[in-house]
Amino acid sequence: MNKTIQIAASHGEAAQRDRAFWAAQTPQARLQHALELRRMNYGTDRASLKLRRVLEITQR
């Protein structure tokens, strides 16, 4: 992986460079990166993917 820093003059130029970078990547590489971002945000624990259920017992 090539890790270089590029300085853009504006946010528009940075966005344009990002689009050009991802357009140059293979579909497999783009999918792999999307899956990595998903794993970073949601984790790998399958139990955490489900909705959490809460049981509350009350007395009348």
User: What DSSP string runs through 1-60?
Assistant: --------SSHHHHHHHHHHHHHHS-HHHHHHHHHHHHHHHH-S-GGGGSPP--------
Kindly report, residue by residue over 9-60, the tens digit of the pLDDT.
999 999 999 999 999 999 999 999 999 998 888 877 766 556 667 777 778 7
Give pLDDT, residue 14: 93
Give pLDDT, residue 9: 93
